[in-house]
Structure 1
Amino acid sequence: MLVVSLFVCIQKGVERFQTRKKLASITIQQMSDIGMTKELKDAELAQATLIGFIRDVLFFIKNKGRME
Structure 2
Amino acid sequence: MGLKDNLSNLAEQAKGKAQEAMGKATGDQGQQAEGEATQSSANFKQAGENLKDGDLKGAANDAKDALD
Which is higher, the Rg of structure 1 or of structure 2?
A: 1
Higher helix share: 2
TM superposition score normalised by structure 1: 0.45
TM score, norm. by length of structure 2: 0.45
